[in-house]
Structure 1
């Protein structure tokens, strides 16, 4: 989550506050250790009841806000509200039963996430997959710790959970701030998150003979040329009506596996996020592309169609050099639509940086190596999105570099959704289905359409209505007395 926050705030924000974030991360680590030790002592000092009341108040407030929301934001806020209320109720229930069920919930979440990460990393074998497996094993051990009653018979469940959040978040903050203080000023968040592509501890062979990595000064300082919208594709036809048909927006095109045009064996979640299997046994993974009003079109395919048999796809899942093949970038949407048909889903983002997107595109297209899991169409779009929205939240708030923005963003429920999707894409593989949901979550975070101009206006709609009603009552009372 910390990494996504820093992408949205931008490298300028991180570089300016790197030292402060480093010590803030140290403070998180120290607080996490203190909370964990207190949990081992049956939460003697942690104010459980006060914390539960705060959770309950946050849950009720979030539910009230969700009533006036819409779409994905409303659904996400309702989910957050229910989660907070359930957690608060279990804490207030206290004694053995409430703490027991709360511990079982936390343990199950860690267990499922850890197993999924271990299995996916072992299958895909992306760079640093051993580290991902190790983190998955750590999550499984944490799950076991939550499941068993030692040493406090579940009385320290809440401090344990908070300490885990502080420890993981603090460690990520420390490492990012440390790297930000050491890399050149011309670097970007994209380079900080990814760096050069490595395979089994070495830079992949094709990167030794292609353009410089994205983190070099040459890539960052590459000239940005304004392109006309008529080069590739006219403005999208189906923008939300409140923005107007001529509004500039990035368009994420997704051809879902279930829209392959073939009779499919229906598997709801697998069809959406991984692949679909047709009646003949062929596997369809879908496709993703990104188009900008400035004329950039990012759509990456293998130069020669890959075999769709289950055996071939299974063999190609491993993100190793021997599964690299030649790739090709599609020229424009009309050409691709003529071959694939119209995209089955579209997501629009308006708060983006065209210059950063073009710099990313100059570097990314220099390498035409395609890998089914590590460098595919969805990876291209996901990384292009992150380059384009870098610093979007600061742009929306007038480039005010304050600590309050960091805190405000971290309390946004849409951030949790986007962070979970990003984690799945990084530890498993980016797929068109994940890219679609990731783009939607980023749109909720960075775009102002469908949201109030001020965060406080969004968070206090009912109080504003009550104040307006009270003012009306006063006017009515005054008119009655005057008569």
Structure 2
């Protein structure tokens, strides 16, 4: 989440403050170490129910947001339940509550660590060995959480909170050091996922900019009339099977009129048979194949179908989008996992949104507003998962929607009201039709 927040603030705001970021990371890690050591002896100065109140506050905010939301209501309510349940257990402290929390936390970390190791081993993305090491560390923490020694679960919450603060503080310090070494005027995108290869980066020229809004087009795997069997999570984020038994993985594209359209396809169809699936998933160079770029949304929609979803952005850096496209299209290579249509759109969106909060005139006010926006934290989680496995059209759609709420909250509220009005009109029309 920290990296994503720095991206939205932009290099102009944060690069010259790398020392402050280094100090914040050190203080954060030191606080985590204190909380962890305090939890180990059982006689804690920081009582567990303090953390419960923080979870309770976030859970209530998510519950209210879910009650008034017209989009992603189920996700908000599910998030509220996930936060409120442990918060109430921590605060009320019923009998065996500490052991119950330890089992929940340990089980989640055990599953997450195993998933990290498995995805790193199968996909072999950049820094996959580091990801495997992180998964091993998470499994070790899970084992420490699950076994009772030395506090018999009394220090479970404090120990895990402290460990989380140490890890995030250390990561912030490493990021500050990388900011220090970042070339002048270079984009922060270099630090958070490779949107701009360092060797290809040069400043963009004003005449490279587009003039229109940026639109993320997504063809979800389970588009209208395409799904035969409903499997909500699989259909949304991986692939769907239509009535003819054909597999659809969906597609993503990005448009900035009049001179940018990013739609990356393989030049030849990829063999997706079960025998080849494991090999094709690897993000290694030997799996790169020739790719092609479609010229425009009009031609793509005419040759296939209209996109399922569209997300519009107005607060963008058009120069960076244009430069990203110039650098990206210099290499047509396509990789199903590491360089596909969805990863191209995600990186282009990062380029477009870099510095949008820093250009508001009150960057630190925008900073604190963004930090208190739950969508930013969820977007950070989605980004980490996509980088550890693969960007898919479903992930890109959610990522774009979440960032839209962060950078253009007023527009998002307007879109929500329009969506509510459209649904009301459709319901009345359907009711009138049923009465005839």
Please, what TM-score do these two structures have when normalized by structure 1?
0.78
1:306 corresponds to which of 257, 270, 276? 270
**Kept after mapping to 2: 8 A contact 1:275/1:284:** yes
3-state DSSP of counterpart to 2:96: helix
Structure 1 CA distance for aligned equivalents of residues 217 and 122 of structure 2: 28
Q: 1:361 is matched with which residue?
A: 325
Structure 2 CA distance for aligned equivalents of residues 299 and 140 of structure 1: 39
**Kept after mapping to 2: 8 A contact 1:281/1:309:** no
Q: 1:345 is matched with which residue?
A: 309
Q: 1:225 is matched with which residue?
A: 207
Closer/same/farther in 2, CA of residues 362 and 164 from structure 1, 3 Å limit: same
Q: 1:110 is matched with which residue?
A: 109
Q: 2:174 is matched with which residue?
A: 175
**Kept after mapping to 2: 8 A contact 1:283/1:308:** no
Aligned-residue CA RMSD (Å): 2.7
Q: 2:34 is matched with which residue?
A: 34
**Kept after mapping to 2: 8 A contact 1:14/1:177:** no
Q: 1:192 is matched with which residue?
A: 191
1:435 corresponds to which of 391, 396, 399? 396
1:414 corresponds to which of 355, 375, 378? 375
Structure 2 CA distance for aligned equivalents of residues 188 and 228 of structure 1: 19
3-state DSSP of counterpart to 1:110: helix
1:371 corresponds to which of 330, 335, 348? 335
3-state DSSP of counterpart to 2:207: coil
**Kept after mapping to 2: 8 A contact 1:327/1:370:** yes
**Kept after mapping to 2: 8 A contact 1:224/1:359:** no
3-state DSSP of counterpart to 1:392: coil
**Kept after mapping to 1: 8 A contact 2:35/2:159:** yes
Q: Shift of the alpha carbon at 1:322? A: 1.4
3-state DSSP of counterpart to 1:352: coil
Larger Rg: 1
Q: 2:86 is matched with which residue?
A: 87
Q: 2:431 is matched with which residue?
A: none
3-state DSSP of counterpart to 2:215: strand
Closer/same/farther in 2, CA of residues 179 and 309 from structure 1, 3 Å limit: same
Structure 1 CA distance for aligned equivalents of residues 393 and 45 of structure 2: 47
Unaligned runs of 5+ in 1: 197-212, 230-247, 454-483
Structure 1 CA distance for aligned equivalents of residues 176 and 376 of structure 2: 20
Q: 2:98 is matched with which residue?
A: 99
Structure 2 CA distance for aligned equivalents of residues 370 and 124 of structure 1: 15
Please, what TM-score do these two structures have when normalized by structure 2?
0.86
3-state DSSP of counterpart to 2:34: helix
Closer/same/farther in 2, CA of residues 64 and 317 from structure 1, 3 Å limit: closer
Structure 2 CA distance for aligned equivalents of residues 282 and 190 of structure 1: 37
Closer/same/farther in 2, CA of residues 380 and 195 from structure 1, 3 Å limit: closer
Closer/same/farther in 2, CA of residues 32 and 406 from structure 1, 3 Å limit: farther
Unaligned runs of 5+ in 2: 415-436
Structure 1 CA distance for aligned equivalents of residues 347 and 271 of structure 2: 26
Closer/same/farther in 2, CA of residues 98 and 37 from structure 1, 3 Å limit: same
Q: Shift of the alpha carbon at 1:22? A: 0.7
**Kept after mapping to 2: 8 A contact 1:80/1:413:** no
